[in-house]
Amino acid sequence: MPQNSPYSVLWLQAASCGGCTMSALAADDVGLVKALGRFGIRLLWHPSLSEEAGTEAITILDDVAAGRVALDCLVVEGSILQGPNGSGRFQMLSGTGRAMKDWVTALAPKARHVVAVGSCAAFGGIPAAGNNPTDAVGLQFSGWSPGGALGKAFLSGSGLKVINIAGCAPHPGWVVETLAALALGDLSPERLDSLGRPRAIADHLAHHGCGRNEFYEFKASAAQPSDRGCLMENLGCRATQAPGDCNIRRWNGYGSCTDGGYACIACTSPAFETPAGPFQETAKVAGIPVGLPVDMPKAWFVALAALSKSATPQRVRINAHSDHVVVPPARRPSKAP
């Protein structure tokens, strides 16, 4: 059961497009605030959802930083901009005269838990792409490297490292369930993977439950986004490498990226913003995709692909290159046992 007093969450938006908040707003059937309320969680302040603004909002931040108000969880959405020259002045928190970087490093030690919502806050994400002129980093990682704005040795008041709800944007259920687990005291270190992601999410792959799996099994590949075939061979899909249960729980109760014809870009992983080749194209060497399914040796994949393609039913082969079912499954009367 939730603790007697509300579990307080202070939510900051750093270098962010706001997409993580937009995703979280669709939580459950009641929206983010009520969904969190079911677990005794209240938003102490959120820049987009709270009534307090200006001096009222700054007072809340000051009170938490000074220890006058206890904080259960600091949530950060968006990358931390450390530039120029370590000053953090590429992003100032309006009305405070202080860089967002400084606010985060001041507030994080006051919180029982620190949560990065989205891959930008977790690993640097989109602002860290290219030559990264803003020196964007995540809270405790910079890409695959530990460190980030808080440093690899940082522990919150509960003794946990930063909890990374990765994704661009993360599923709203991931946000609610992770915060609920924290409020209920049910998220221990062994329930996080090596990158700080909750294993309840990261122990799955986006490939699991994909509606295109029959085409994947036969290596019947789409040639263009409107085709129903597998998106891996030609269109850059990385679902077989991407941690997340995106195709198991779906979005808004129904859809997913691959359902919509958009290849998975592994947005829950560090450095997804800097792929080996263009998005929506599969990088290949000698005709073999560079990014192979997790745990599968290249020789096995080549052998399996050749066998699968030779066994592809004509129905699957035709449907793979159409935007609708052209040939339905054969209708045969069932045999008595």
The residues pairing with 9 across neighbouring beta strands, listed in sequence order, are 43, 73
The pTM for the full model equals: 0.91
Instruction: Inform me whether the pLDDT recorded for 334 exceeds 70.
Output: no
- Give the residue extent of every domain in the chain: 7-202, 204-323
Query: How many Cβ atoms are within 10 Å of 105's Cβ, its own excluded?
Result: 17
State the pLDDT confidence band at 4, using cuts at 50, 70 and 90: low
Instruction: Inform me whether the pLDDT recorded for 186 exceeds 50.
Output: yes
> What is the model's pLDDT at position 43?
97
Report the chain's C-alpha Rg in angstroms.
Answer: 22
What are the pLDDT digits (tens) for 266-314? 999 999 999 878 899 998 887 778 777 887 777 777 787 788 888 888 9
What are the pLDDT digits (tens) for 15-71? 999 999 999 999 988 999 999 999 999 999 999 999 999 999 999 999 999 999 999
Positive/negative CA dihedral, 301, 305, 306, 308: positive
DSSP assignment letter at 79: B
Distance between CA atoms of 235 and 14, rounded to whole angstroms? 32
**Residues with Cβ < 8 Å from 169, sequence gap 6 or more?**
19, 20, 22, 23, 24, 118
Distance between CA atoms of 262 and 244, rounded to whole angstroms? 16
CA dihedral 312, 318, 324, 328 (to 10 degrees): -70
Q: Which amino acid is at 171?
A: H
Q: Which tokens belong to 15?
A: 């270098």
Between 309 and 78, name the one with better pLDDT: 78
CATH homologous superfamily of 7-202: NADH:ubiquinone oxidoreductase-like, 20kDa subunit (3.40.50.700)
What are the pLDDT digits (tens) for 214-228? 999 999 999 999 999
Distance between CA atoms of 45 and 155, rounded to whole angstroms? 23
Distance between CA atoms of 135 and 80, rounded to whole angstroms? 8
The residue among 316, 313, 286 whose CA lies nearest residue 299 is 286
State the pLDDT confidence band at 2, using cuts at 50, 70 and 90: very low
Which ranges constitute the DSSP H helices of the chain?
A: 19-24, 32-37, 55-65, 100-107, 119-123, 172-183, 199-202, 213-217, 232-235, 246-249, 298-310, 314-319
Instruction: Inform me whether the pLDDT recorded for 3 exceeds 60.
Output: no
Q: Which tokens belong to 197?
A: 């992601």
**Mean pLDDT, to the nearest integer, of 73-84?**
98
Instruction: Inform me whether the pLDDT recorded for 171 exceeds 90.
Output: yes
User: Between 3.40.50.11540, 3.30.70.420, 4.10.480.10, 3.90.76.10, what CATH number should domain 204-323 receive?
Assistant: 4.10.480.10
- In the predicted model, what is the mean pLDDT of the chain? 93
Between 223 and 1, name the one with better pLDDT: 223
> What is the model's pLDDT at position 5?
80
Instruction: Inform me whether the pLDDT recorded for 123 exceeds 60.
Output: yes
Residues 241 and 294: beta-carbon distance below 8 Å:
yes
> What is the model's pLDDT at position 336?
61
Between 119 and 3, name the one with better pLDDT: 119
Instruction: Inform me whether the pLDDT recorded for 1 exceeds 60.
Output: no
Tokens 């449907």, residue located: 319
Distance between CA atoms of 294 and 277, rounded to whole angstroms? 19
pLDDT over 90 percentage in the chain? 81
Count the alpha carbons within 13 Å of 40 in the hemisphere toward its beta carbon.
13
